[in-house]
Amino acid sequence: MNTATARAGANIALVKYWGKRDPRLNLPAAGSLSITLADLETVTRIEVDQGLDADRFELDGRSADPRPVAAVLDLLRPAGGPRCRVVSRNNFPTGAGLASSASGHAALVVAAAAIFCPQMGSGDLAAIARRGSGSASRSLFGGFCQLHAGVAEDGSDCRVEGLEEAGYWPLEVVVAITDAGPKAVSSRAGMNRTMATSPYYPAWVASVSADLERARRAVADRDFDELAEVSEHSALKMHASALAAQPGLLYWNAATVACLRRVRELRDQGVGVFFTVDAGPQVKAVCLPGQADRVAASLASIAGVEQVLRSGLGPGARLVES
């Protein structure tokens, strides 16, 4: 096969991933639990081109640095194998805290594996996706999944567990975009700085397994109030550890905070909604089925909210053409 196209949805961690136990193998310091989105997605096409002497990468219609993509391709193609033209598009802002690195690397790995390693199992695929971006392995799965950090030095027990498919609990997500530009400090740089300098980082790592247990149970029981509590706690705690880094990482702006307050006001009024925020200024409001219209209208009315995106839960990364 000389060309392959794959698509993958972004995923949002409800129990956050923040920090690594091995930067070289990109192994997380703690586990995470996420939902995969249907409508914020990456489509990536790879074409083998025997005439190229180096990989080419086009992202969102512009030529981009091919080195991170080449590093992932090198994990899948034979030594000295052919170079590739990789064309990828995210249908949402790139590098703005909306998990483009996750959907981008998941789509890349699924398309590259179809060309170079069609027999590869899902565990090996997940390990390679994780090397590209720590959260990418979660976008290989749909619905709800958990990334287990593991303890093995070689990362062999760092694996993703699919918990439930998207249709099991059709939650909806409203994303309030408060600044679509790329963030000043990438997730990778931000978590490294937090690990190296934040006095709260050890407390963060020590507390994640209890959050994972709570969130798993909440998903299994479809207990929205419990999932809301543990998810907001995990997000705020992650940002607290980052705020305490030196220099402190402040990913939020005024509209971010206004959205967090609005989500809590809505919940007090009986609307089924909770928030989560990743390394960036956007707020993701997770809604019970039937509540997203009201949440989207309310968040869109806040000063500083540039755009509101909506998505249901979706499937894992997949090939769309061969």
Amino acid at 156: S
Binds ligand ATP (CB under 6 A): choice among 278, 302, 310, 313: 278
Question: Between β-strands 32-48 and 62-64, what pairing exists: parallel, antiparallel or unpaired?
Answer: unpaired
We find the least distance from the C-beta atom of residue 119 to ligand ATP, in angstroms, to be 24
Binds ligand ATP (CB under 6 A): choice among 15, 76, 108, 302: 108
* Nearest CB to ligand ATP, comparing residues 88 and 146: 88
Instruction: Select from 92-100, 110-118, 173-181, 204-212 the region that touches ligand ATP (CB under 6 A).
Output: 92-100
The Cα–Cα gap between 95 and 100 comes to 6
Residue entry with tokens 């939902």: 35
Site size for ligand ATP, by CB under 6 A? Answer: 25
We find the least distance from the C-beta atom of residue 11 to ligand ATP, in angstroms, to be 9
Instruction: Select from 75-83, 141-149, 150-158, 274-282 the region that touches ligand ATP (CB under 6 A).
Output: 274-282
> Any idea how long the chain is?
322
Q: Does 97 bind ligand ATP (CB under 6 A)?
A: yes
Binds ligand ATP (CB under 6 A): choice among 102, 109, 266, 313: 102
Give me the long-range contacts of 75-79 (CB less than 8 A, separation at least 24). 75/128, 75/131, 76/109, 76/112, 76/113, 76/116, 76/117, 76/120, 76/128, 77/112, 77/115, 77/116, 78/116
Q: Does 282 bind ligand ATP (CB under 6 A)?
A: no
We find the least distance from the C-beta atom of residue 279 to ligand ATP, in angstroms, to be 5
* Nearest CB to ligand ATP, comparing residues 34 and 291: 34
Nearest residue to ligand ATP by CB is 104
Q: Torsion over CA of 291, 297, 301 and 302, rounded to 10 degrees?
A: 30
Contacts of 268 (CB under 8 A, 6+ apart): none
Contacts of 212 (CB under 8 A, 6+ apart): 15, 31, 32, 33, 146
Which two tokens mark 121? 């199992």
The Cα–Cα gap between 295 and 26 comes to 36
Letters for 58-77 (x = contact with ligand ATP by CB under 6 A, - = none) are -x--------xx--------
Q: Does 192 bind ligand ATP (CB under 6 A)?
A: no
Q: Does 302 bind ligand ATP (CB under 6 A)?
A: no
Instruction: Select from 96-104, 171-179, 247-255, 309-317 the region that touches ligand ATP (CB under 6 A).
Output: 96-104
Site residues (vs ligand ATP, CB under 6 A): 42, 44, 59, 68-69, 88, 90, 94-102, 104-105, 108, 135, 186-187, 278-280
